[in-house]
Amino acid sequence: MRISIWRPSSHTFAPLCVQKHKQAPICSFPFVAFLFILGTLFANLRDLRAARAALFSMTQPTTDAGRGHAAPVIRLQSVQKSFALPNGEVFDAVQSLSLDIQQGDVFGLIGKSGAGKSTLLRLINLLERPDAGKVLVGGRDLTTLSRRELRDTRQNIGMIFQQFNLLQNATVFDNVAFPLKIHGRHSKAEIDARVRECLALVGLAEKIDTYPAQLSGGQKQRVAIARALAPRPQVLLCDEPTSALDSETTRSLLETLREINQKIGVTIVIVTHELSVVEVLCRNVAILEKGRLVEQFAVDAPSEERKTALGREIDELVRRREREARLPVVPRPASVQRNALEAAYV
């Protein structure tokens, strides 16, 4: 069957039809081609709507259907993940877990080793596909997306790892440019400008032409952060990002993450086993035990109602910091105020 298009006449308005006609058509093509054109049109419309929604959600806080209060940027609804073990048993790593994370938050996920923290984090960008439940990011249920839609949506979710996962044979520039190049929608000039912007954000502008092997651990993690931020994600997932770093480097990296959250408003979800990381960086925290969420609270509000030992430990760290902040600064006695070397440089 062929589809033909005629010029509309006075007695009929049927420019598109499959009937026989006396005049010669303007054009004519097989029915299969017609279906193909329709399909392409619909796909592009859907992409356009998705792009507009993504752009909109980068600049505007999402609200619950206009009811005025912010909708979570991440919503996990009864997610479940099991692994088949070599001995034939099934291990439930995440069990019917629901969690909301608000836009702009810095959210900690803590728990003992094996509690399911990394699995839960990987469910948020669908690196692990849940066996049941929904994973909504920016209002879209990722479990319903096609492979291509998921690839596009993942640009909205950056991730960094304990071991940095940089490309060893690529320069810092090429590492940060990588997610922009594979997406293929950016000009060379745009990529160049964005890479420089991201490296400046993590304080590594001068390392642009070096290779990962020439960097310290902290610098490698900064490159990984710059790479994750390059596609302007709404969410940054961090799996034990400071576990391979010494305490001094950890402090400075946490400061960088805090600055990034404040400057660009990216939502940070951080898995860690270091309670000091939660105390210094996070606004909210969830505690996992055996794949279940057992407790969730705002870090700056210690309470007598904590259910878990980890919760009580975090409260204790917060209270200690508050006590220390209230202590008056005691001036050193004049005799020990300056040693000879200090005095020489005053």
Q: Write out the DSSP string of 40-64.
A: HHHHHHHHHHHHHHHHHHHHS--BS
Q: Does 118 bind Mg ion (CB under 5 A)?
A: yes
- Choose between 62 and 95: whose C-beta lies nearer to ligand ADP: 95
* Antiparallel, parallel or unpaired: β 74-84 and 132-137: antiparallel
Residues 109-138 that bind ligand ADP (CB under 6 A): 111, 113-119
DSSP calls for 302-322:
--TT--SHHHHHHHHHHHHHH
Alpha helices (H) in 202-330, listed in sequence order: 217-229, 247-264, 275-281, 309-326
Nearest CB to Mg ion, comparing residues 117 and 140 = 117
Partner from ligand ADP, Mg ion, none binding residue 114, C-beta < 5-8 Å depending on class: ligand ADP
108 binds, among ligand ADP, Mg ion, none (CB under 5 to 8 A by kind): none
Residues in the chain, total? 346
Identify what 119 binds: ligand ADP, Mg ion, none; CB under 5 to 8 Å per kind. ligand ADP
Q: 174: burial class by Cβ within 10 Å (0-12, 13-18, 19+)?
A: middle
Minimum CB separation of residue 187 from Mg ion in Å reads: 38
Q: How far apart are CB 115 and ligand ADP at their closest, in Å? A: 4
Whether 75 contacts 134, CB under 8 Å = yes
> 287 in helix, strand or coil?
strand
Closer Cβ to ligand ADP, 3 or 287, answer by number: 287
Which residue from 93, 225, 226, 229 is in contact with ligand ADP, where contact means CB under 6 A?
93
Q: Which is nearer to ligand ADP, 36 or 91 (CB)?
A: 91
Nearest approach, Cβ of residue 162 and Mg ion (Å): 8
> What residues make contact with ligand ADP under the rule CB under 6 A?
83, 91, 93, 111, 113-119
